[in-house]
Amino acid sequence: MDLTAPYVPDLESIPAGLDLPAEIRRLKAERRAVLLAHYYQEPEIQDLADFVGDSLQLSQQAAKADADVIAFCGVHFMAETAKILNPAKRVVIPDMDAGCSLADRCPADYFEQWLKQYPDHDVVSYINCSVGVKALSTVICTSSNAVRVVESLPKERKIVFAPDRHLGKWVMKQTGRDMVLFPGFCIVHEQFTAKRLAALKAQHPEAKLIAHPECDATVSQLADFVGSTAALLNYVAKDSAKAFIVATEAGILHQMRQRRPEAELIPAPADSGCNCSLCPYMKLNNLEKLYLCLRDLKPEIHLDETVRLKALKPLERMLALG
């Protein structure tokens, strides 16, 4: 057997007519597995999960997971984060190719060279990055706590923020701190434009525009509220508006509908003309691959121990901030 061959999910090995949700529940119990899912996963995966959350909540759950196996329904850097925090547990992900444009466009070796221009800077890295980039960082943040993380650094410290330039710019505005920004972006959030959203707002004057800070600054400026996935969900649950234009990945609408069934939820259109915005990486996971990954415990995340230990420090520093 070739142990170096990449794992390819054998979808044909799934018996016809199998009750996938029931089998997934059964395997989860048999494997003593916890199923963590990001808000951008397909509704049927969210409904089977033990915990659904944004990247901060998921890393907090991963840190305290009482299980032998963590089945991570999200993208690769999220499962990798769970492994950094749980080296003794088996961490599996339904599709190993579920990457992220932010993480993939900031390879650790390139980042290491790029950082040489800023030797006296603290490095704040958004959790959407690889274990190698985390290992080069002073502290990690998510979109939920980026402002708090930056404010936790002494005022005189110079800061590099990576890899999302839009989140970095938004944090600069909130904190009044100057930062050097790595030029990365999310391919999903970058597609929203102020021009198209202003036109949509004009069509729906009663609707509030809410946006993720991975959006361009012109979109954030137009928005009534800017926040992480969990903050957007919370805003919709509590705000009295009857309609919302949601400028983030449309997977979040599943939870929003449950919190506000009577509200009109309008997914922000991408500028390209498509009427919904879905992360192609997140959507690589599906029930079939989840079933196979719980059945076969593959594909599994493995990390180099030296790099893992280096990445653990900035991650723990973030988690200690609460």
Residues that bind ligand SF4 (CB under 6 A): 75, 100-102, 128, 186-188, 214, 249, 279, 281-282
Minimum gap (Å) between residue 289 Cβ and ligand 13P: 19
Q: Which does 229 bind (CB under 5 to 8 A by kind): ligand SF4, ligand 13P, none?
A: ligand 13P
Q: Which does 143 bind (CB under 5 to 8 A by kind): ligand 13P, ligand SF4, none?
A: ligand 13P
Q: Which does 54 bind (CB under 5 to 8 A by kind): ligand 13P, ligand SF4, none?
A: ligand 13P
Cross-sheet strand order for the sheet of 158-162: 139-141, 121-126, 158-162, 180-181
Comparison of 236 and 270: residue with beta carbon closer to ligand SF4: 270
Comparison of 229 and 255: residue with beta carbon closer to ligand 13P: 229
Minimum gap (Å) between residue 91 Cβ and ligand SF4: 17
Q: Residue 114 and residue 124: Cα distance in Å, rounded?
A: 14
User: How many CB atoms neighbour CB 211 within 10 A?
Assistant: 26
Radius of gyration (C-alpha) of the chain in whole angstroms: 20
Q: Which does 42 bind (CB under 5 to 8 A by kind): ligand SF4, ligand 13P, none?
A: none
Comparison of 281 and 291: residue with beta carbon closer to ligand SF4: 281
Minimum gap (Å) between residue 33 Cβ and ligand SF4: 22
Residue 134: strand, helix, or coil: helix
Q: Which does 187 bind (CB under 5 to 8 A by kind): ligand 13P, ligand SF4, none?
A: ligand SF4
Which amino acid, residue 239? Answer: D
DSSP state of 140: E
Q: Residue 254 and residue 250: Cα distance in Å, rounded?
A: 8
Which amino acid, residue 64? Answer: K
Minimum gap (Å) between residue 281 Cβ and ligand SF4: 5
Beta bridge partners of 34: 70
239: buried, middle or exposed (CB in 10 Å: 19+, 13-18, 0-12)? middle
Residue 276's contacts (CB-CB under 8 Å, 6 or more residues apart) are 250, 267, 269, 270
Minimum gap (Å) between residue 74 Cβ and ligand 13P: 8
Minimum gap (Å) between residue 264 Cβ and ligand SF4: 23
Region class of 32: left (phi > 0), else alpha (psi between -120 and 50), else beta: left
Q: Which does 228 bind (CB under 5 to 8 A by kind): ligand SF4, ligand 13P, none?
A: ligand 13P
Residue pair 83/301 in contact (Cβ under 8 Å)? The answer is yes
Residues of the shown chain interacting with ligand 13P in the complex, contacts defined by CB under 6 A = 54-55, 128, 142-144, 186, 214, 228-229, 249
Q: For residue 81, what are its two tokens?
A: 């984060």
Comparison of 67 and 137: residue with beta carbon closer to ligand SF4: 137
Minimum gap (Å) between residue 129 Cβ and ligand SF4: 10
